[in-house]
């Protein structure tokens, strides 16, 4: 009887298991309707871009000179461009270029930014000074100008555009992680890890880094939106993806001459970019709120 009472007291003292941090973040994110709407839009766009070769009604290079500048219709949902190419097909397929550039460029920037920021923030001193001064030199050049220079040197192309995008984003990621590292490295759990002779890489990547990633995740989400915009800008001035590839910025650049005569040729690619940026910004705002420890239940 006494044993049963003790067991009941123990159960009452611990009625629920502690939820993992990931579950808490997901629950917090689900409460934000705008963030979920942004996530839904972005997932749909990614799926449409991924499956575009299977669902597009026309080839992206197929030309029909009898349908030049025709407006939206049942045959061509978004109309046709100056060469009679189906804009709906090109928008869907072009998402593969724009979304991939944004995601891959930010992934490269986060990877190298984490390494640089972790080293600078953990070791500090002269190592930190050298790294920060090098980043100062890079950041002294306006971001768009730096990307234009890199694109002009490397030439037009998909991978060249990714490199141009990622180089300009690395310093911001590194500085953000360094600031978090400097704030976290004086905590007691780091001193305890040092006292039991944990290796420096283990302290950095197993203990410090997981506690510093929240702002990086938010910044990366926002960075994808910014990178897509900058990539479209590079293509718009002729330094991004080579035509006839249907990248959204290149489509805008090709159609800007005809904006008065055929509104759909410029408006529809512009709406594609705008909708993607809006979805990513909504996601970023939602993640920022979900990762804020002050909003824990």
Tens digits of residue pLDDT in 136-194: 888 888 888 888 888 888 887 788 888 888 888 888 888 888 888 888 777 777 777 77
Q: Which of 143, 94, 105, 108 is nearest to 276 (CA)?
A: 94
CA 236 from chain center: how many Å?
Answer: 20
Banded pLDDT at 17 (limits 50, 70, 90)? very low
- Which of 5-9, 216-220, 221-225, 289-293 comes out lowest in average pLDDT? 5-9
Cβ-based neighbours of 162, under 8 Å, separated by 6 or more: 101, 104, 105, 108
Q: Which of 243, 99, 89 is nearest to 157 (CA)?
A: 243
pLDDT at 93: 92
Range from 68-72, 201-205, 213-217 that averages highest in pLDDT? 68-72
Cis peptide, bond prior to residue 43, ω within 30 of zero: no
Q: Which of 215, 207, 200, 216 is nearest to 184 (CA)?
A: 207
Span 214-234, average pLDDT: 86
Q: In angstroms, what is the C-alpha Rg of the chain?
A: 25
Q: Are 97 and 240 in contact (CB under 8 A)?
A: no
pLDDT at 296: 54
Q: DSSP state, 165?
A: H
Cβ-based neighbours of 104, under 8 Å, separated by 6 or more: 162, 166
Q: Which of 196, 211, 193, 204 is nearest to 127 (CA)?
A: 204
According to DSSP, the residues that pair with 86 across neighbouring strands are 80
For the chain, the distance separating the N- and C-terminal CA atoms, rounded to the nearest angstrom, is 37
Q: Are 165 and 147 in contact (CB under 8 A)?
A: yes
Span 61-70, average pLDDT: 86
Residue 267 has pLDDT above 50, yes or no: yes
Distance CA 185, CA 190 (A): 6
Kindly list the distances between the CA atom of residue 239 and the CA atoms of 111, 165, 234, in Å, as whole numbers in the listed order.
25, 12, 5
pLDDT at 160: 85
Residue 217 has pLDDT above 70, yes or no: yes
Beta strands of 88-240 (E only): which ranges? none
Q: Are 269 and 253 in contact (CB under 8 A)?
A: no
For residue 147, the tally of other CB atoms under 10 A from its CB is 26
Residue 7 has pLDDT above 60, yes or no: no
Q: Are 247 and 185 in contact (CB under 8 A)?
A: no
SS3 241: coil
- Which of 26-35, 108-117, 277-286 comes out lowest in average pLDDT? 26-35
């Amino acid at each position: 009887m006494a044993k049963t009472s003790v067991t009941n007291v123990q159960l009452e003292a611990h009625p629920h298991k502690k939820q993992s941090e990931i579950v808490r973040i997901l629950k917090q994110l689900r409460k934000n309707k705008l963030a979920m709407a942004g996530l839904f839009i972005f997932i749909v766009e990614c799926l449409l871009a991924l499956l575009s070769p299977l669902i597009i009604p026309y080839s992206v290079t197929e030309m029909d000179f009898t349908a030049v500048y025709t407006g939206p219709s049942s045959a061509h949902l978004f109309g046709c461009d100056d060469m009679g190419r189906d804009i709906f097909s090109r928008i869907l397929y072009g998402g593969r270029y724009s979304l991939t550039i944004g995601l891959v460029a930010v992934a490269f920037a986060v990877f190298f930014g984490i390494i640089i920021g972790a080293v600078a923030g953990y070791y500090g001193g002269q190592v930190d000074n050298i790294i920060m001064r090098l980043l100062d030199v890079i950041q002294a050049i306006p971001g768009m100008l730096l990307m234009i220079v890199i694109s002009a040197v490397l030439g037009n192309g998909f991978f060249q555009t990714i490199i141009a995008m990622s180089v300009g984003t690395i310093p911001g990621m590194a500085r953000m992680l360094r600031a978090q590292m400097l704030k976290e490295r004086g905590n007691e759990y780091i001193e305890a890890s040092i006292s039991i002779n944990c290796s420096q890489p283990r302290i950095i990547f197993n203990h410090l880094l997981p506690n510093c990633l929240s702002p990086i995740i938010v910044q990366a989400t926002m960075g994808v939106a910014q990178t897509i915009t900058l990539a479209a800008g590079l293509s718009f001035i002729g330094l991004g993806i080579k035509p006839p590839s249907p990248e959204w910025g290149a489509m805008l650049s090709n159609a800007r001459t005809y904006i008065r005569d055929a509104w759909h040729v410029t408006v529809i690619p512009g709406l594609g970019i705008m909708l993607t940026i809006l979805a990513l910004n909504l996601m970023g705002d939602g993640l920022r709120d979900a990762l804020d420890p002050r909003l824990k239940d």
